[in-house]
Amino acid sequence: MDKNFQEEQFTGIIKFTPPLYKQRYQFIKDLVGKYKPKKVADLGCADCTLLQMLKFCSCIEVLAGLDICTSVMKENMHRLSPLPGDYLQPAERPLTVTLHQGSVAHKDPCMLGFDLVTCIELIEHLEQSELVKFPEVVFGFMAPRIVVISTPNSEFNALLPGKALFRHPDHKFEWNQAQFQSWALETARRYDYSVEFTGVGHPPTGMENVGFCTQIGVFVRKYPQTSESAQSEKPTEAVYKTVFRAVYPSLKDEKYLKNAVVSEVIFTAQNIKRSLLDHLMAEHEEYNNDPVERKFQFQPSMNRFSEDLGKLVVEKSMEPFVHGNVVYIPLTTIFSFPKVNRLCGTFEKLCKLIAGKVTLSSDGSAVMFNTELENEEN
């Protein structure tokens, strides 16, 4: 939460590289890579830096941020909007990003159903009354599979020259290792979680007893939460204010899927066409060794693929062929390409998605291209 505090300013005994806030965010990113959560909420999201990092994690489909301060979120929420490239190449998975203004001491149904909840440098900013309510909101009501809480380790403060009483003027307290672990163990026991302790920001050699600069507790729920218990706790009214929402384009949306499939089919078919015509041209040049014959156009070489052979090829859906001035690329050949196959899943869906968007033969079995256009391009 206090990223803007210049942790890298400590040049006396300790200097963290990369800065401590980046180490905390990397810890979360590594945890996401390990557990593959689909829905992640960051409580105390502040300038949205962690959310911006997590939106690139392919497993995440829902991201939510919560902070008491609206202005900081509004100054930075543009970083969570889709970029032009997201529309040009939509991801396979959907992604929705939402920011809410509100207190972690209050319950809101929009925060139900999350797999991972992060509280990075948050609890030390809470008033005593908020800290008392915090465990029931996060562990009792939200009850995600995993909760990560990081907070300053006050035992490390003696190694940080130039600090005041606390590392940040808004901190209400800073716990030592025993205090944090006592609170975390009691919270885990009360709400049926296990907890493991770790941290980032290693102490100097020989001072390991001081512990990490930032202490971290990773809580994992012992038993699945039943839908009945979650529903019984659900408040009837929302208390958070939504200040931002972005829905990213994805291939789960048929509109974007259709565009992607049509583009990939045309791209694949054009590559096949060029490869075929290059092959036929090479055969033509090899066949016509007589200089007199070189004056003939490309057309006779193409006609070496006879009409009967062409029909046979289409019937067996095996190879592309040329008839007259038209190149035919069977849809079954295009469907065999991995990316097209992955996008469509079934041949029937391929046919449905490209209907009316790609020029097909009369029986719908092949994509058609005019070779005269190819000659003009060359």
The residue extents of the domains of the chain are 20-248, 253-282+315-377
Query: Residue 299 and residue 238: Cα distance in Å, rounded?
Result: 72
Instruction: Tell me the whole-structure pTM to 2 decimals.
Output: 0.77
Query: Residue 201 and residue 16: Cα distance in Å, rounded?
Result: 7
Given a cut of 60, whether residue 160 has pLDDT beyond it is yes
Write phi, then psi, for 67 (nearest 5 degrees).
-155, 150
Q: How confident is the model at residue 164 (pLDDT cuts 50, 70, 90)?
A: low
Q: Are 7 and 21 in contact (CB under 8 A)?
A: yes
Tokens read off for 180: 């944090």
Query: Counting beta carbons within 10 angstroms of the beta carbon of residue 154, is it exposed (0 to 12), middle (13 to 18) or buried (19 or more)?
Result: buried
Tokens read off for 249: 């384009």
Distance of alpha carbon 344 from the chain centroid: 21
User: Which amino acid, residue 39?
Assistant: K
Largest CA distance in the chain: 97
The DSSP 8-state label assigned to residue 136 in this structure reads: I
3-state secondary structure of 35: helix
Q: Which pLDDT belongs to residue 318?
A: 61
Q: How confident is the model at residue 162 (pLDDT cuts 50, 70, 90)?
A: low
Given a cut of 70, whether residue 227 has pLDDT beyond it is no
pLDDT digits (tens, 9 = 90+) for 191-200: 999 999 999 9
User: Which amino acid, residue 17?
Assistant: T
Write out the H or E segment, with its range, that includes residue 284. helix 254-287
Q: Which of 73, 20, 8, 65 is nearest to 40 (CA)?
A: 65
* CATH number 3.40.50.150 is the correct assignment for the domain at 20-248: yes
User: What are the angstrom distances between the C-alpha of 79 and each of 48, 55, 104?
Assistant: 8, 10, 23
Class of the CATH-defined domain 253-282+315-377: mainly alpha
**What is the per-residue burial (b if ≥16 Cβ within 10 Å, else e) of 292-312?**
eeeeeebeebbeebeeeebee
Share of the chain above pLDDT 90, in %: 66
pLDDT digits (tens, 9 = 90+) for 198-219: 999 999 888 899 999 999 999 9
Angle of CA points 128, 241, 65, to nearest 5°: 70
Q: Which of 186, 78, 193 is nearest to 147 (CA)?
A: 193
pLDDT digits (tens, 9 = 90+) for 120-143: 999 999 999 999 999 999 999 999
Angle of CA points 282, 285, 287, to nearest 5°: 105
Residues 6+ apart with CB under 8 A from 123: 131, 134, 149, 151
